[in-house]
Amino acid sequence: MKHRVAILALLAAAIVSLGANVALVLAALHYFEASEAIRLDPGGLRMYASERAAPPAEGPLLVFFGDSRAFMWTTPTAPIGYRVVNRGISYQTTEQMLLRIDADMTALHPAVVVFEGGVNDLKTIASFPERRAEIVARCEANLERIVNRCRQAGATVVLASVFSIGDVPLWRRPFWTNDVSAAIREVNAFLPRLAGDKVVLFDANPVLVDERGVVRRMYQLDYIHLSSAGYAAINEKLSPLLSALPR
């Protein structure tokens, strides 16, 4: 009996190990394909090419601008008084956003820009820990440049905090560091310096995080992205803010 139990335990361990290796390979392939796509179109200008060619609709416009977290941001269900256009692109850093800000924000002449970005910059600290200070400083500088470009275009900027991280999965932990979360807190502490004339800070983290300081499990799609419940929760806070903005 003990011999059989030992064999079954070894078999179970082999299956778990095989599953983990498959997950790692699939994740590596996914990141490789995304990296190759970025090399072909660094700014992501192809993504919204057809929408840019369409004639503008009438009425005040609100643009969600940023990375995948902006791309996945659902339109608030409460009336906010704006037409909504989404110009988020997955995987983008703030450097890449600057490559397309004229095409995907300025050209639209928005009344309001809900801007969210920075996590893709900061998560590279896991790969380049020796460049941490440089990565944080460059992220902060780019966030300020994007906010200023939006203001110069005449838009009111709703500047979202960098959402906290969720539970990092086992397959990702060997290639991760808790310093990413520390860097997120550092950048979020910087963001209030950008608030002021036509710039409103929107801190979603008090709604999202639990007592551990990570995104609540019910709000996690994965360790980086929010679920639909997460967006619904932050939209309850965002909707009255948008409705109160001067027209």
Q: Per the structure block, which two tokens stand in for 99?
A: 């490559």
* pLDDT tens-place string over residues 120-138: 999 999 999 999 999 999 9
The per-residue pLDDT for 79 is 79
Q: How far is CA 243 from CA 26, 161, 238, in A?
A: 43, 19, 9
Average pLDDT rounded to a whole number, residues 103-120: 96
Q: Please state, in angstroms and rounded to a whole number, the distance separating the CA atoms of residues 111 and 6.
A: 67
Provide the whole-model pTM: 0.85
Q: How far is CA 18 from CA 4, 15, 23, 26, 32, in A?
A: 21, 5, 9, 12, 21
Q: Please state, in angstroms and rounded to a whole number, the distance separating the CA atoms of residues 225 and 208.
A: 11
Contact between 166 and 214 under an 8 Å Cβ cutoff? The reply is yes
Q: Strand pairing partners for 220?
A: 226
* pLDDT tens-place string over residues 4-47: 666 666 666 667 556 545 554 554 444 545 555 566 778 999 99
